[in-house]
Amino acid sequence: MFGGVPQRSGFSGRQRSASIAAVLATALVVAGCGSSPAPAPTTRPGDAGEVGGAAVPMTLRVSVDQPMRAVFSELAKRFQIDHPGTQIQLTFKRSQELVDALDQGPAPDVLVVEEPDMNKAVHAGQVSDPAAFAANRLVLVTPPGNPNHVATLNDVARPGTRIAVCAPELACGAATARVASSLSVQLTPALTADTASAVVDAVAEGRADVGLTYSSYAKGADTRVTTLSFPGDAVSVERYSIAVTTKSENQNRAKQLVDSVRSGDGHRFMASFGFGAP
DSSP for 105-139 reads SSPPSEEEEEHHHHHHHHHTT-EEEEEEEEEEEEE
C-alpha–C-alpha distance, residues 110 and 259, integer Å: 11
Residue 55, pLDDT score: 63
What is this structure's pTM?
A: 0.74
Which of 40, 49, 56 lies closest to 5, judged by CA? 40
Q: Are 77 and 38 in contact (CB under 8 A)?
A: yes
Residue 158's CB is within 10 A of a number of other CB atoms, namely 12
Residue 220, pLDDT score: 85
Residue 36, pLDDT score: 40
Instruction: Give the rounded percent of residues in the chain with a pLDDT score beyond 90.
Output: 68
Calculate ∠ Cα 43-49-51, nearest 5°.
75
pLDDT digits (tens, 9 = 90+) for 201-215: 999 999 999 999 999
Is the pLDDT confidence value at 98 over 60? yes
Which 8-state DSSP code applies to residue 39? P
Q: Are 87 and 59 in contact (CB under 8 A)?
A: yes
Where residue 230 falls among pLDDT bands split at 50, 70, 90? confident
Cα atoms in the 13 Å half-sphere on the side-chain side of 68: 32
C-alpha–C-alpha distance, residues 242 and 277, integer Å: 14
pLDDT digits (tens, 9 = 90+) for 152-182: 999 999 999 999 999 999 889 999 999 999 8
Question: Which conformational region is residue 80 in: left (phi greater than 0), alpha (psi within -120 to 50 degrees), or beta?
Answer: alpha
Which runs of consecutive H residues, i.e. helices, occur in the chain? Answer: 13-24, 69-82, 95-100, 115-123, 153-156, 171-182, 196-204, 215-220, 251-262, 264-272
Residue 35, pLDDT score: 38
Instruction: Give the rounded percent of residues in the chain with a pLDDT score beyond 70.
Output: 78
Residue 171, pLDDT score: 87
Which 8-state DSSP code applies to residue 230? P
Is the pLDDT confidence value at 66 over 80? yes
Residue 221, pLDDT score: 87
Is the pLDDT confidence value at 234 over 70? no
pLDDT digits (tens, 9 = 90+) for 71-97: 999 999 999 999 999 999 999 999 999
Residue 13, pLDDT score: 43
Which of 240, 241, 267, 243 lies closest to 110, judged by CA? 243
Residue 48, pLDDT score: 47
Residue 90 or residue 39, greater confidence? 90
- Cα-only R_g, the chain: 21
Is the pLDDT confidence value at 138 over 50? yes
Where residue 54 falls among pLDDT bands split at 50, 70, 90? low
Residue 1, pLDDT score: 46
Is the pLDDT confidence value at 69 over 50? yes
Residue 262, pLDDT score: 96
Q: Which domains does the chain have, with CATH numbers?
A: 13-133+240-272 (3.40.190.10), 136-237 (3.40.190.10)
C-alpha–C-alpha distance, residues 112 and 120, integer Å: 13
Q: Are 21 and 102 in contact (CB under 8 A)?
A: no
